[in-house]
Chains A and B, each alone.
Chain A
Amino acid sequence: MDENLKIVGKRVIRSDSYAKVTGGALYTADLKLPGMLYAKVLRSPYPHAKILNIDVSKALKVPGVKAAISGFDAYGVKWGVFRYTQDHAMLPTDKVRYIGEDVAAVAAVDEESAIEALSLIKVEYEPLEAVFDPVEAMKDTAPQIHEQYKNNINIHIHIEVGDVDKAMAKAYIVREDTFKAKGEAYAMMEPYAVVASYANGYLDLWMPNAGPHVRAKALSNLLKLPLNRVRVRHINSGGAFGGRSEVAPGDLVASLLSIKSGRPVKLVLTREENAMCSRQVHDIIATVKTGMKKDGTIVAKEYKTIYDGGAYSSTGPIATSIPYYVYEECYRLPNVRYDGYRVFTNKGIRGMYGCHGRAFLAGNEAQMDLMAKELGLDPVEVRLKNGLTAGELTATKSKIISCGLKDTIIQAAEKSDFKKKWKKHTRNKGIGMGCVAIMCGFPMGFRSGSSCYVKINDDGQVTLITGMVDNGQGNESLAVQVASEVLGIPMDDINLVNADTEVTNLDPGSYSQAAAYVGANAVKAACEDARKKIIAIASKKLGVPEEEIDLKDRVAYSVKTPDKRMPISWITREAFFKGEPIVGTGSFFPDIDLEREWVSKPEGQMAGTYSFGTSVAEIEIDEETGKIKVPKFIAAHDCGRPINPMAVEGQMEGSVGQAGIATIFEGNMWYKGFLLNPDLLEYKVPLACDMPDIETIIVSSNDPKGPFGAKEGGLTIRMNAYSAIACAFTNATGMLFEELPLTPDNVLKLLEKNKGGKR
C-alpha cells in the first residue's frame, strides 16, 4: 500500500457541493423540457379490491389533457427483482392491494387540468376483505393477497448452522425475548419525481435512483422495449436511504403517458403520496433466543423474525435476510437457526432501508447486555469475546477479510468511559453499546461488478465515465478524488459523467454499500490503466525508467531527479500526435460466491469485504414524562481507509439522527390501511435541537482489496445506533424494550410496568 497519498485521505470539498450551495444543482422536479406535460395519478381508495373496470375516456375530454392510461395500457408484465418474485405489475389490472396504489393516470398541459381530469376517471371496484397485521395474514382464514403465495408468506428464509437444540440445552443461560419495531419512513427530503420523454423510439428518463442500470432493465421488461431504447439519465438525487433502489410505479406511469402522448411527461409526488405510495420500511417482530456460556460466549442463537412486507415482493428476499447477516458478520455464532418470514399485508410496498432491521438488531444487543449483567460480565468484554476477527468465517461461511471491530469497540468504550458508566449508572441514566458489520456489495449476479472508462483530454484534463450513482452520500466526489490521486491531476480538472445508462457501464448501484469498494475500485483500475500510458510516454520523453516516474499536480516527473519533468497536457498531445489518445478502462468484480442465493443457498462468500462499527449512546430518562434525552453519542466506524474523512463523518453523523434519535422518535402510524403520519410534521424526523453531542471515530483497517484500503463509509452506524440507544435503555432501567420507537408514552408504560413488577 502506497502511504504517500496526495489527496486520498484528505478532507476535500466534495465535487458536487458547489452546485448545491449555489442552487444550480438540478433535481428531477426542476427539469422542464419543451412541450412537457404534467402527470397526476389516480390511486386506490381501498386496501384490497377487485378491479372490475377502468374507464379513462371522460378524462381525455378535458381540455389540455393529452393522455390517460391505466394498467390496461401496459403490457401485462409483472416485475420482480428475482425470478420467483415477479408479482408487481406497477399498474394493476386484477386488483388493488393497498390504499394509494397507482390505478390510472393522466398527463395534461398543466397540473390543474390533470387534477380535474383525474376526477373523471371511473373505476369500478369490488372491495375485498383486507388484512393489515402480518401475524393475522399468516393464518389460514386470512384473505389471500397474491394467489401464488400461500398464507401470504412471500419469502421464507431458513438458515441452519450447527446443532442449535443441543447447544441450547448445554448453554449456561438461555433467554428468549420478542421485540417489535414500527416501520420507518425514508423521509428523503426530495419527494419522488420522474420525467419521461419518449421520442424517435427512445425513452429517456430522469428520476432519483440508486442504480440506473437495474432501473432501465426493469423498465425495458415492463414496457417490452429493447434495453438500448430505455435510457436512464443522470440527475441529482435528494436522498434515498434504500428507498430509491427499485423501479417505481411512477416510472412506468410517466413512461406510458409519454409514449401515448409523444411528449415529455413530468410526475412529481406530493409528500403524502411519497410516504404512502413509493416505498415504506418493514414493521418487524423478532423473537430472539440466545444461549450463552458462563463466560459470555454465545453458543447458540435461534430466531423467528416476521417482516411486514406490504403488498408486493420488492427486494423481499434481501430484506428478509439482511438484519440477520449483518449480525452474523459481526459475531461468532457457532450454532444458529434463523427463520425469517416476509408476509404480505394490504399496506404500501416495503423496501430495503439504510437502517433496516432495528427490532432484530437492537433486540439482540440489548438482550446480550441483560444476559451479561446476569453473568456479572461487562458488555464490552462480551462483545470483544464474541466479535469476529479477520480470517474467520461467518456462520454461513463467508470470510472476514479485514476487521477493525475490536478497535471500534475499544476506542468507543474508552472515549465514553463505558465500563465505569455502565456499572455505576444513576437511576434512569444509562449507557449502551451496539455493534454491527456491513457487507460491501453483495451478490447481484453479473451486476455485482463495476466498470469505468477514463479519457485524458487535449488540455490534460480528464473525463471520467462510471455507472456509480450518488444519492447524496458523496459517491461522485469519491470517484473524482480517487481518479485525482491516481492521475496526479487536481479534482477540479476532472469531469464526471456518471449514472447514465447510455454512456456508463454496469454498476451495482448505491444500495449494497458497493460504491467505495466496487465502484471506486473500478475507477482506480481505469485510471491506473491511463496512468501507465501517460508514464510510458513520459519515460520516453524524459529518458527515465517508468518506475521512476510519478504524477502530481498535472506534471509527470522523475522521483529521483525532480527537475526532469513535463506537464501531463504535453504528454496528452503527444499521444494525440501518435494517433493513440490516452484512454483507460478498468473494472472490478468483488470476490463473492455467485452460487450463493438468498433463499435456496444461503451459504458462501457474501461480499468482497465487511466494514465494522460500534456506537455508544448515553441517555437520560425523565421519569415523569417518559421522555428520553440523548446527551452524548459516540460512533466508531471501520471504513477501511477513509477516502474523504469529512464525508465519512457526515455519513456517521447522519446515521446518528436517522437511526439513533429515530429510536426515540420515528415510526409509521396506521389505522387499518391508512397511514396516519405520511408527512413531515407528524412523522418525526429529528431536528438540529434534538441531536446529541456527537463524536465520530474513524478506524482504519486498510482493506487489502479496497481502493486505497477503503471499504464503506458509515453504514454501520445506520445499523447499530438504535442498538446503542436500546442498550442504554436497558442499562438505565434494567429492562428490555418491547417496541420501537421508544416514544415517551411507550417508555412511561414500561416504567410503570417495572414499578408494578417490583413490589
Chain B
Amino acid sequence: MKTIKVMLNVNNEKVTLQVKPYETLLETLRERLSLTGAKESCSLGSCGACTVLVNGTPMRSCLILTPEVEGASITTIEGLKNGEKLHPLQQAFMEKGAVQCGFCTSGMILTAKALLDRNKKPEKRDIVKTMSSNICRCTGYKKIIEAVEETSKK
C-alpha cells in the first residue's frame, strides 16, 4: 500500500512524514515521533488515555487516522512545558496529588487544558463533566478535579 505524505505541526515543530493510510495518530506519535506520553489503554475510544489536542480540541488519537489531520497542529503532553516552566495544570496536578500511576495523566491534563483554553473560569460542574470523558482507575478523581479547579482560579 502506498504511503501518504502528511505535514503536521507537532508541539510547535513542523514535521513531514510518510505514513501508512491506516495508521492512527496515536501510532504516528508513539512509534514514528517517539512521543510516548499519549498512552494506548483501550484503543477503542472508551478511555481517553490517548487524548491529544488537534488544533486545540481534545481528541482520542487512537480513533484518528493520521492522514485525516493533515496540516493540523498537534499538542501532546511533551509539548506543554514552556522551556523549563511547567504548564500551570502540570504544576497543579503535581501539587494536588492528582497523579498516581500516571497512565491517565497526559490525557487528563490535555482534556483539562482544552477546557480552560475555551473557558477560563468554568464552574465545577463543567469541570466534572468535561473530565468525565476520561477514565482514571487510581485516584477517585477528587484530586484531579481539585487540580483543574485550582488552576482555573489562578
Interface residues of A, Cβ cutoff 8 Å to B: 11, 13-14, 16-27, 29-30, 32, 187-191, 236-239, 241, 268, 270-271, 471-474, 646-647, 649-650, 652-658, 679-681, 685, 687-691, 694
Query: What is the chain B residue whose CB lies nearest that of A695?
Result: B142
Interface centre among B40, B76, B86, by most chain A C-beta atoms within 10 angstroms, is B40
**5 further A-B pairs in the complex, CB-CB below 8 A; given A29-B39, A471-B101, A685-B137:** A11-B97, A21-B90, A23-B76, A650-B138, A694-B140
A630 → chain B closest CB, angstroms: 12
A689–B144 Cα distance when bound, in Å, is: 12
Name the one of A32, A271, A471, A685 contacting B43, with C-beta atoms under 8 angstroms: A271
Given the known interface contacts A18-B94, A656-B140, the answer about A679 and B135 at a Cβ–Cβ threshold of 8 Å is: no
Q: State the 4 A-B residue pairs at the shortest beta-carbon distance, nearest first.
A: A23-B37, A472-B101, A20-B102, A238-B103
Given contacts A189-B101, A237-B101, A688-B141, contact A21 B41 (CB under 8 A): no
* Interface 1/0 per residue, B16-57 and A, CB below 8 Å: 000000000000001000111111111110110100000000
Contact present for B80 and A679 (CB under 8 Å): no
**What's the Cα separation between A679 and B47 when bound, in Å?**
10
Complex formed: what's the CA distance from A24 to B84 in Å?
A: 13
Q: Does B109 contact A (CB under 8 A)?
A: yes
A472→B99 CA distance, assembly (Å): 8
A442 to B19, CA, bound (A): 52
Tell me which residues from 111 to 154 in chain B have a Cβ below 8 Å from any Cβ of chain A. Answer: 128-129, 131-132, 135-145
- Residues of chain B with a CB closer than 8 A to A681's CB: 42, 44, 46
Interface residue tally for chain B (C-beta within 8 Å) = 51
25 sampled A-B residue pairs with Cβ under 8 A: A13-B95, A16-B99, A20-B99, A21-B93, A21-B102, A22-B77, A23-B35, A23-B37, A23-B78, A27-B103, A189-B39, A189-B47, A189-B136, A190-B41, A190-B101, A270-B43, A471-B101, A472-B100, A474-B100, A650-B139, A657-B137, A657-B140, A657-B141, A681-B42, A685-B137
In the complex the two chains form, what is the Cα distance from A707 to B1 in whole Å? 61
Min CB distance, B2 to chain A, in Å? 16
Min CB–CB distance A374 → chain B (angstroms): 35
State in angstroms the CA–CA spacing of A657 and B142 once bound together.
Answer: 10
CA distance in complex: A322, B86 (Å): 44
**B101:A689 contact, CB within 8 angstroms:** no
B77 touches A679 (CB 8 A): no
Residue of A nearest to B129 (CB): A689
Across-interface contacts of B14 in A (CB, < 8 A)? none
Q: Which residues of A contact B105 (CB under 8 A)?
A: 20-21
Say yes or no: is B5 at the interface (Cβ < 8 Å to chain A): no
Contacts of A691 in B (CB 8 A): 140-142
> Which residues of A are found within 8 Å of B109, using beta-carbon distances?
21
**Residue B106 CB within 8 A of the other chain:** yes
Q: Give complex CA distance A176, B131 in Å.
A: 44
Chain B, interface SS category: loop
Kindly list chain B residues whose C-beta atoms are within 8 Å of the C-beta of A13: 94-95, 97
Task: Tell me, rounded to whole Å, the shortest Cβ–Cβ distance linking B21 to chain A.
Answer: 13
Name the residue on A nearest B101 (C-beta). Answer: A472
**Closest B residue by C-beta to A191:** B41
For residue B60, give the distance in angstroms from its CB to the closest CB of chain A.
12
- Residues on B lying within 8 angstroms of A by beta carbon are 30, 34-44, 46-47, 49, 76-78, 80-81, 86, 90, 93-97, 99-106, 109, 128-129, 131-132, 135-145
Structural contact, B100 and A654, CB atoms closer than 8 A: yes
Q: How far is the CA of A689 from the CA of B78 in the complex (A)?
A: 28
Please indicate the chain A residues that have their CB under 8 angstroms from the CB of B35 in the complex: 23
Q: Is the CB of A472 within 8 A of B78?
A: no
Chain B residues whose CB sits within 8 angstroms of the CB of A29 once the complex forms: 36, 39-40
Tell me, rounded to whole Å, the shortest Cβ–Cβ distance linking A226 to chain B: 33
Closest beta carbon of chain B to A617's beta carbon, Å: 13
Q: Chain A residues with Cβ under 8 A from B129's Cβ?
A: 689
CB-based contact B138/A472 at 8 Å: yes
Q: What residue of chain B has the Cβ atom nearest to residue A633's Cβ?
A: B140
Contact across chains for B49 and A189 when beta carbons are under 8 A apart: yes
Question: Does B39 contact A190, Cβ atoms closer than 8 Å?
Answer: yes
Is there contact, CB below 8 Å, between A238 and B101? yes
Contact partners of B43 in chain A: CB under 8 A: 270-271
Q: Is the CB of A271 within 8 A of B42?
A: yes
Give the distance in Å from the alpha carbon of A650 to the alpha carbon of B90 in the complex.
17
Quick one: which of B81, B95, B132, B142 contacts A653, CB cutoff 8 A? B142
User: Are the CB atoms of A189 and B104 closer together than 8 Å?
Assistant: yes
> For the complex, what is the distance from the CA of A397 to the CA of B109, rounded to whole Å?
49
Q: Is A188 within 8 A of B101, CB to CB?
A: yes
- Whether A654 lies near B103 (C-beta < 8 A) is no
Are A236 and B42 touching (Cβ within 8 A)?
no
Are A688 and B131 in contact, with the CB atoms below 8 A? Answer: yes
Q: Which residues of B contact A22 (CB under 8 A)?
A: 37, 77-78, 80-81, 86, 90
Q: Can you name the residue of chain A whose Cβ is closest to the Cβ of B133?
A: A687
Determine which of A14, A271, A649, A685 lies in contact with B99 in the assembled complex, contact meaning CB atoms within 8 Å: A14
**How far apart are A602's CB and chain B's nearest CB, in angstroms?**
33
- State which of A24, A188, A688 has its C-beta within 8 Å of the C-beta of B137: A188
Give complex CA distance A694, B144 in Å: 13
Alpha-carbon separation in the docked complex, A26 to B105 (Å) = 13
Interface centre among A11, A191, A237, A653 (most CB of B within 10 A): A653
A700 to chain B, nearest CB (A): 18
CB–CB A655/B140 < 8 A = yes
Closest residue to B78 on the A side, CB-wise?
A23
Q: Are B131 and A30 touching (Cβ within 8 A)?
A: no
In the complex, are the beta carbons of B94 and A17 less than 8 A apart?
yes
- Tell me the smallest distance from the CB of A685 to a CB of chain B, in Å: 5
In the complex, residue of chain A having the shortest beta-carbon distance to the beta carbon of B93? A21
Note all chain B residues with C-beta closer than 8 A to A20.
Answer: 99, 102, 105
Q: Chain A contacts of B145 at CB under 8 A?
A: 688
